[in-house]
Amino acid sequence: MRMVSIKKENAKLREHYYKMRHASGLDIYVFPKKLTSTYALFATKYGSVDNCFRPSGASEPTTVPNGIAHYLEHRMFTQKDGSDITERFSEYGADSNAYTTFTKTVYLFSCTENFDESLGALVDFVTEPHFTEELVEKERGIIVEEIKMGEDNPYDRCFYGLLEAMYRNHSVRINIAGTENSVSEITAGMLNDCYRAFYNPSNMAIVVCGDVTPEQVMFTVEQHLPYYFVSLETERIYFDEPKEVYQPLYEAYMPIAKPIFTIGIKDSVPCGAEARMARDAAMQILCEMLFSRSGELYNELFEDGRISPDLSYGYSITEQFAFLTVSGESDDPEAVLARIKGYIREKQAEGIFSADFERCKRVMLAEYIKAFDSTEEIANNMIDFIFDGGDVFDCYEKLEAVTLADVEHLLATAFDENFFCISIIRPEGMKKEDINE
């Protein structure tokens, strides 16, 4: 077996991994880690936003129903003999799962023994799909129930409501699972089309983290990867999206005790993986400075009784979209939004203290280093960087390189009034005018 292996090291982290490329064009990453469990994933850079594309050799684009990437993920688990692949993993003592995001689909397992057999099972079922109209129809009811459960979850409803308010055209505004109407249109032929377009070596990667060797992983992949698994080119098609939010408010009523909210700040996406990684690093530090529990804003809002203790925040950036969110519970979400805007204006005028910046930067570096204690976190972080054209070690360097000036520039430019929106889920029967009395 011929294998070219590239070793990537980071002296500061004292970590390393290997990258190999199979003859088919499939990239394989092995991150040796002497921990109890080994974690492996087989992923495709194909998520819910990829619903319009031009397959290799096609003259016209193909548009498929919303939710089809998630539907395909569900259907992959049924084998040609009718069995569920999870039964095979269970025989090996491995825990298997899968998930679909806006930008990728990931199939995975973790194990403490029988790694080679489990990896073989992973490669087998991801490369040998079996779609029939009967099986697709059988899955439809399960998917619809999952969609209904999401719609009944106030936190999910709040998050997707925010995206509906934030984005006018981009398909990120649609629930990853789709809608009842959209999944009713999905056929076996559509699933096959999407599989051929996106489940090919040049668009996929295998990542393994644990007490394994590159030779061991490549040997198992060679034994199970079918000869007809070949690379294709697929063009993704997206609609233009304005910089400003689509609408400032999304509002709904559900059976909850107290209003919940998610504030969103729509962000621009720089070109290139290096630029996105640098922006992500600077924004993570800035978010820690503005919204963490150790900050003055959180303590002011909590002590004044305007929020419940749990205030969460996060920043997401991909090749196609980027946004910052702040979520929590409040009797008056609009007042919280107004105070956050006011606080940001104050910081823009006053400037940022160097000591605060250095403290928050150390916090983010520590959080990043801590992630290397988990095989699961390592593998999932790696696939995110791989599919964005970056490297998991480069993130540490980008965090280290962030300056006070970088964060001040973000603070001055990323919080325009037109970039804000809020999603609020209120208790049933609560009228907006009653809150403002």
d(CA 143, CA 70): 9
Annotated catalytic residue within 9, 60, 73, 117 = 73
- The three-state secondary structure class of 325 is strand
Strands of the sheet with 5-10, listed across from one edge: 5-10, 15-21, 27-32, 204-210, 38-44, 105-111, 95-100
Classify each residue of 78-104 as buried b or exposed e, where b means 16 or more C-beta atoms within 10 Å of its C-beta: bbeeeeebbebbeebebebebebbbbb
Indicate the helix (H) or strand (E) that contains 179: none
Residue type present at position 371: A
d(CA 214, CA 225): 16
Inter-CA distances, 308 with 328, 427, 436, Å = 7, 16, 19
Sequential DSSP letters for 231-294: ----EE------SS-S-SEEEEEES-SS-EEEEEEEE---SSHHHHHHHHHHHHHHHHHHHSTT
- The three-state secondary structure class of 77 is coil
Nearest CA among 60, 31, 302, 267 for reference residue 170: 267
Task: Output DSSP code: residue 416.
Answer: -
Beta bridge partners of 38: 111
Angle at 177 between CA 163 and CA 254, to 5 degrees: 60
Tell me, yes or no, if 334 is annotated catalytic. no
Catalytic residues: 73
